Amino acid sequence: MQLIFLSTLECRSEDGSSVTAQVSITEHQGAFRVLWTGESRDGKGGQEDWFEGPAWKDMLQAYREGLWQKRLAGYYPLVDTSLQTSGEGAKSREQLMLQFYAETHHDPELFQELRKWRMQLAQKENKSAYIVATNRMLHMVCAFLPATVEELRQIPGFGKRKAEAYGHELLAITGGREQERMGGFPLNWVYGKVEQREFEAWLVRQLKLKEEQEEQRERVRRLVLEGVEAGLTLKELAEITRLPRRELVLLLEELDQQGYNMEPIVAAELTGMDADKLAAAGELFNKHGSRLLKPVFQEWYTGEELEGQDLGNLYEKLRLLRMRLNHAMAAEAAEGPAPEEPALEEEAG
């Protein structure tokens, strides 16, 4: 039997006493085993078999599930060698501490006000709300209450461009609250305020949540691929996946870039569109390139033509058309230029 991994953990009680345990991963003749060995608070020892079998992926899943449960119960590695936190840099850990502190110390009413601002701005700029600012970024704004654009840039996620683009609007909402701040900028004071065991438990919950979100995303991907193959429309796909149409179209683009055939739904959604408009969009993509939609869209429809139109729907059509045109350009590039016909020699007179 070969020992692959071993970690010792400790759980402290409120009276200061502690119990220890070990989790190990071993391999014997192609079969893996994950074993928890420890003592309970009454001093009795015990073992728990978390996994036994040949599948490496299933073994890792069982290990992570078991370790999450133990860490939520209060066990922490004496030397943190867990697969979840290995490779975590000091800077990344500090940013996570800021996020943790902000989630537990922000003003809920101000957070809702910022969410409303974000939604209005996202609709105005035809962007997903999380592209404007994530919930975690808004939590940190609510908790640390920046008073200047320079302070806003010290919050993770607000780089120079985003701070300059949205900073003045944000600060107009949060302004005048400096007296409510727990501390100023820079935010180094936060690290000393964080209770480490609470932070570690929060990290475990975040990792669990991330895995659940990834599993949900994979389920949605499968639903979309099956739906496209079955000939479902965008409306039908939005109903079964419960995705906003914009996010659904972005996912279609992602799947298209990964090599999946999205032409059936592209063809279905573009059916009935004015042929001249389709041709004009193709010419504009050739003129401006296909990376940015806004320059194409601004020339595609005039102001008068946009009256009464659903801008979101038009952008959807443009994204779908871009997918088709990108494939056409890629196929043309793969074929290469047409060979030149040899010039006919003039007959001597």
3-class SS letters over 71-118: HHCCEEECCCCCCCCCCCCHHHHHHHHHHHHHHHHCCHHHHHHHHHHH
Instruction: Look at residue 343 and tell me whether its pLDDT is greater than 60.
Output: no
Portion of the chain with pLDDT greater than 70, in percent = 89
The pLDDT confidence band at residue 40, using thresholds 50, 70 and 90, is low
pTM above 0.95, yes or no: no
The pLDDT confidence band at residue 83, using thresholds 50, 70 and 90, is very low
Find out whether 240 and 227 touch, Cβ atoms under 8 Å.
Answer: yes
SS3 content of the chain, % helix, strand, coil (to 5): 60, 10, 30
Give Cα 291 to chain centroid, integer Å: 21
For 189, the token pair is 């004071």
The predicted-structure confidence for 153-203, as pLDDT tens digits, reads as follows 999 999 888 999 999 999 999 888 877 888 899 999 999 999 888 888 888
Find out whether 172 and 113 touch, Cβ atoms under 8 Å.
Answer: no
The upper half-sphere exposure of residue 67, i.e. CA atoms within 13 Å in the direction of its Cβ, equals 28
d(CA 140, CA 255): 33
Q: Burial, 150: exposed, middle or buried (Cβ in 10 Å; 0-12, 13-18, 19+)?
A: exposed
* Average pLDDT value over all residues in the chain: 85
Number of neighbouring beta carbons within 10 Å of residue 172:
10
Domain 98-189 -> CATH class: mainly alpha
DSSP calls for 177-229 = -GGG-SS-SS-THHHHHS-HHHHHHHHHHHHHHHHHHHHHHHHHHHHHHHHHH
d(CA 236, CA 228): 10
Maximum mean pLDDT: which of 80-94, 102-116, 328-342: 102-116
Find out whether 247 and 237 touch, Cβ atoms under 8 Å.
Answer: no
Find out whether 75 and 21 touch, Cβ atoms under 8 Å.
Answer: yes
What are the domain boundaries of the chain? 2-77, 98-189, 213-303+310-333
Number of neighbouring beta carbons within 10 Å of residue 276:
8
Find out whether 200 and 76 touch, Cβ atoms under 8 Å.
Answer: yes
d(CA 124, CA 288): 23
Domain 213-303+310-333 -> CATH class: mainly alpha
